[in-house]
Structure 1
Amino acid sequence: MAGNKSFFETLVMEEGGNVTFGDGSKRNVVGKGTISVPELPSLSNALFVDGLKANLISISHLSDEGYSVLFSKDYCSILKPDGQTLLKGMRSSDNCYCLEASIVSNHVSMDEQIELWHERLGHMNFRDLRTLGKFNCVRGLPKLGKKANGICGPCQQGKQTKSMHKKGKYLTTKEPLELLHMDLMGPMQTESLGGKRYIFVCVDDFSRFTWTYFLREKSETFDKFKMLCNKIKNEMNSNIKSIKRIRSDHGREFENATFETFCNGLGISHEFSAPRTPQQNGVVERKNMVLQEMARVMLLNNNVPRNLWAKAINTACYIGNRVFLRPSTRNTSYELWKGKRPNVSYFHTFGSKCYILNDRDQLGKFDAKSDEGIFIGYALNSRAYRVFNLKTLSVMESSNVVFDDTRLKSNDHEEEVIFSDVSPLEEVVVSPNVGTSNVNNDDTQPIDRVPLLDSKEPAPWVRKLHDKEDIIGEVNESVKTRRQLANLISYTCYTSQIEPKNVEEALNDEFLVLAIQEELNQFERNEVWTLVPRPKTTNVIGTKWIFRNKSDEDGNIVRNKARLVAQRVLSN
């Protein structure tokens, strides 16, 4: 029983008799509910007693939950079923055993703990996050309390919708691979760093396990589906039945002779949803929305540029397979597909700062032992993390990584505010802190290489509305709108404001490095050159990098261009 209302996760106010204390006084029971506090089992049917100044735990209640309580002269211990000590309490001067003060601090920090795991798990909603911990659906996730306000700013920006949709409560299949739902998203307005614009999404109906592949053109859909079929065949070792049915819309990437011949050869029945009726393929349509929302929130959460959407989608798919529960069950998609509970103890916040041990170079006695980087996902074929090294400007895999999941939160202001200026981007400094983290990577999705930005300080702000007599100038003249100002801020943040004279200067600016990489990607896609042995009697034409900034009609720099050209002075 407790006298503090904030200890209750759920509370029903009802009259329930009274409680008599040792001095003969009585207090009324005014409610009953569940108390959920870190380091303690969930206490159901707990009484809320009006005026009770001390919180009391029933020994018989703990015993019913499988815990043991050991008393001695000076202390008592609560033991888990495996014999490990959960909590200790000291004997007070009035002959009562009191739990240590750490329980209070844990209760105070519940909001911080659940918010950290909320970000680590791709901004999973708080209700499902508590369910994961409560029913022990994954390994490595502690039991979490209820967040006070249940509001996350980036979630509202990335997920808010006009109306709610009911969750399906029925199972249409009995085992994996009975039915695969497929769809193609795109084209995306922003091309990924690898030149991809489409996302091929495939969802197993029974387990809801999801695969994502990125495409440059719609015509690559069949090749990705064939690759997925071979992957499933090898993963299942042919001990499980093969794919029975697939379902898609009538898009030409799915409804064609190549697809039909392949499916007929494997005995796969290809079903189609009715034209302009996406509800008939609602499983994958819903999954598309979930992946986009998770990716959007993760990009917004750490101010990551939009051209990193492919990396965010991959991470969202990886997380979703391990934390989302199949409707009408208490099993994750990973457990239904793999047959074992997933481990999430090695998860970290997408886009967070990290430090990578430099075990590749020969370091001097006093050189920094680690490089600063950005966490961008999980390795494909090894137990390691994928990180973007800010020193070498490259994507690498390493298990020797220390993470900083904390970030500077911006202060919440009123709705009627706009940013008056943009804080300059700070230079990246390599930190000497090093360390290791164990990674338990069961199954990962492919991840593209991407650069990230890190904005440190919140910009100053001013009020939008002013009294008419305080306005200087003609009030009838038009002014720039908030949207125009937002575009200007976006251009300033994600473009370089200088035109370098040589490639050495360009390599010191991360935005110009991106422009160089984009030009090299175009060369590779268009097969611009063919590598041949150097002729002995012919002069070799040199190359030169040209850098230009493209501006809009107002003179604002909106894009950095880099071109690799032949030197005309040597071409004769």
Structure 2
Amino acid sequence: MWAIDSGATHHIGNDKSKFANLVEGHEGELSVADGNKTVIMGVGTIFEQVVLPNGDQREIEIKNALFVPSMNKEQEPAVGASDQQQRSKVVAAADLVDGLYWLRVPRASANSVSKVSVNSVDLHARMGHAPNDVLRKMVSSGMVAGAKMPSMSTNSSKCRGCQQGKMVQKPFPSNRDKRHCDTFEFLHFDTCGPMEQASLGGSRYLLLITDEASGCMTGFCLRAKSESERCLRSFVAKVERQFDTKVKFVRHDGAKEFATNSLLAFYEDHGIEVQPTVPYAHQTNGTAERANRTIVTIGRSMLHYAGLDKTFWAEAAMTAIYIKNRLPSPKVPGKTPFEVVYKSKPNVKHMRVFGCKAYVLTPKEKRLKWDPKARGGIFLGYEERSKAYRVYDIEAGKVVVSRDVTFDEATFDSASAHDDDEIDEAADCLDDLEISSAAGTSNFRQAGKRKTRPDPDARERSSRPRRRTGLEEASAPGNDSDDPGRDSPDQEAKSDDDGESTPAMKL
């Protein structure tokens, strides 16, 4: 019940359930008529059903009402009523009782109260569990017909449907760690895989380490996740020695390969604080997750553009890391991760299109007078340790590393790890298999030493390159010279059995 009190200065309500958007909190004290003071526990808006002189009902909005639970009656200032009367609009009827005017409200029995509550719940449920303030605005503004809202006491926090259907994760802080870190002091780990197809060297996982300060990435191709510990130890030792820094923090997703007993002991011995993320909360390891997604996206795009199969995923991933470290860094505006780490701008003049046609010089000690001076291959990336290129030798079926490489960036040989020549050679071997029925044994005559010139028409049918004009020659991938010179025969290196580079750092 509301009393219109000429001595009141504020709307005062004592029923918490009537407040639509109550802001709870200690709002000060209120002096009452008997001289005592009472505590104001909140401020909000109340929607109340009142009776008009003609018997009709309407809903009025009482703004900035004070929530005072200790008050024995609800009060409305007489000033507010007179202001409304000056607008010549009847807003409610009041009855004079014991010297006070009481707003006339609908008489509600226990059954009617229950009915009102059910109606409000029904409207909330019928309208797809819409918030109460949305429903109230919809009805009071006449946006729809056939909807009445006598009281909106329904609280979505008590609605089972809202709890099960609308609950979301609490937002994570935008700045996860306020501490300033220098290069390689804060590292993020994550493993991607297993890949659906093994790489040239048999790898199925990609371990990616991202530096918080610079955004610089380092990749390792692994045959098994258990190899992660060796790579992490090697990386920490290298950055601490070469960059005169100390790794202070590491963050990972709590995977077992990052939390072995020996690795935890390593962290403790080196004073490294470990920050495993919350299970199933990928946002808390967002830096590593985004880095993995970025590298896979770049690598996948290069593979498809070159028409290469998934066997080359490791080479594509390592090249993607090499490229990403030379693109603008979101961590340091106006600089690349390479510049942040090495304090010098990277030179990209040597870079070529991944997967394009490449020709590798054959040292004269390894060829005859009239043999070709170069072997054809597929460009697969950069060998930073020796400032050379990595090329898949189609004839030999392996990756070679050389500085003496020319490129045809307009041509792409759609090749797999097993070239057509290997298949033809296997077929020739089967043709040379002689079976003696009398002895009941099989005799195999090796014909691998005999070289035959392949049919040009057959080769053209098996591999039709996509070709555009242009054949360019490139210098070695260095930043200090545009013409590094040619390797001597002893300097030409070949890759190991892994097939793809797994350096301690791939910058």
TM-score, length-scaled by structure 2: 0.48
Greater RCO (Cα-Cα under 8 Å, separation 6 or more)? 2
Q: Who wins on radius of gyration, i.e. which is larger?
A: 2
TM-score, length-scaled by structure 1: 0.42
